[in-house]
């Protein structure tokens, strides 16, 4: 049974979806579970628009579990944007509240938000992708350092090569081997930090038509000793829940990853991908 462990609802600034609609869609698809991972964005340009409300979010998860919990697992997760200057705010929040899963994602580089074209000016698709991957490597190293000081802080590295979506959108460019040397270091750092990569299917429905990461990265992760990845649709609408998982699972299996990483109460279980 598959689990969608990266999705959003009205508790995130960029979604209007009622949480019940996501759960009902998951039931229709026969999922084993889904984990909401609402955005917690501490960047100054996003903080004022951030809808994250811990009390309301927690109440909704409790209500969903009461109503649907006998039919599938409903997880409470969070997606943390990489903002090391706000480490104390992030750490305090994670220490004070309970989650099933914590995702660390990169949405900003020193050139600005990754989804804004002006940040790609003068860099082009390859240069912009490398800058993003360098930032992801910084994030993975940060997670490893925090883990050494505090115990594991983050569980999952989200959409590690998100830049490929925008290289395709802005330049019609797609090469999964761009920045392979940096990706290699990201994967090695993930293994050291016990930070499990996600295979994110949002770029199958809206992007180059391939998951993040694509087959070469999955294969390299397996070569380095990786055993499992999480599946995430990054759905912001109910019809996208578990979208293209039937495409992503063969990509994992055919490239050496036979386990689905599943988190409950921040504990990892590896389930065989069928």
Condensed to tens digits (0 to 9), the pLDDT of residues 239-264 reads: 999 999 999 999 999 999 999 999 99
Outline where 194-272 has alpha helix (H). 202-205, 215-223, 245-254
**pTM recorded for the entire structure:** 0.96
User: With 80 as the cut, is the pLDDT of residue 67 above it?
Assistant: yes
Q: Using CA atoms, how far apart are residues 147 and 149, in angstroms rounded to an integer?
A: 5
Condensed to tens digits (0 to 9), the pLDDT of residues 87-127 reads: 999 999 999 999 999 999 999 999 999 999 999 999 999 99
Per-residue burial over 181-195, b if 16 or more Cβ lie within 10 Å, else e, is: ebbbbbbbbbbebeb
- Residue 161: both structure tokens together: 């090569």
Q: What residue segments make up the domains of the chain, in order of their start? A: 3-272
Condensed to tens digits (0 to 9), the pLDDT of residues 123-171 reads: 999 999 999 999 999 999 999 999 999 999 999 999 999 999 999 999 9
pLDDT of residue 206: 87
3-272: CATH topology: TIM Barrel (3.20.20)
Q: Using CA atoms, how far apart are residues 144 and 140, in angstroms rounded to an integer?
A: 6
């Amino acid at each position: 049974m598959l689990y969608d462990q990266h999705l959003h609802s009205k508790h995130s600034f960029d979604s209007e979806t009622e949480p019940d609609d996501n759960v009902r869609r998951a039931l229709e698809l026969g999922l084993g579970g889904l984990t909401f991972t609402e955005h917690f964005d501490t960047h100054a340009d996003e903080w004022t628009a951030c809808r994250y409300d811990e009390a309301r979010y927690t109440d909704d998860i409790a209500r969903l579990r009461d109503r649907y919990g006998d039919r599938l697992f409903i997880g409470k997760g969070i997606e943390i944007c990489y903002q090391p200057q706000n480490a104390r705010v992030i750490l305090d929040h994670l220490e004070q509240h309970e989650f099933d899963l914590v995702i660390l994602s990169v949405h900003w580089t020193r050139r600005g938000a990754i989804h804004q074209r002006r940040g790609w000016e003068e860099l082009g698709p390859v240069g912009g992708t490398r800058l993003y991957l360098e930032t992801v490597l910084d994030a993975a190293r940060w997670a490893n350092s925090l883990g050494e000081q505090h115990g594991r802080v983050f569980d999952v590295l989200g959409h590690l090569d998100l830049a490929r979506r925008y290289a395709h959108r802005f330049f019609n460019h797609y090469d999964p081997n761009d920045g392979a040397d940096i990706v290699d270091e990201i994967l090695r750092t993930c293994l050291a930090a016990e930070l499990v990569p996600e295979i994110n299917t949002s770029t199958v429905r809206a992007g180059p038509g391939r998951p993040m990461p694509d087959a070469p990265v999955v294969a390299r992760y397996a070569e380095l000793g990786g055993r499992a990845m999480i599946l995430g649709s990054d759905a912001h609408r109910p019809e996208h829940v578990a979208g293209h998982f039937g495409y992503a699972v063969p990509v994992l299996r055919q490239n050496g990853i036979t386990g689905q990483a599943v988190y409950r109460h921040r504990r990892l279980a590896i389930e065989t991908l069928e």
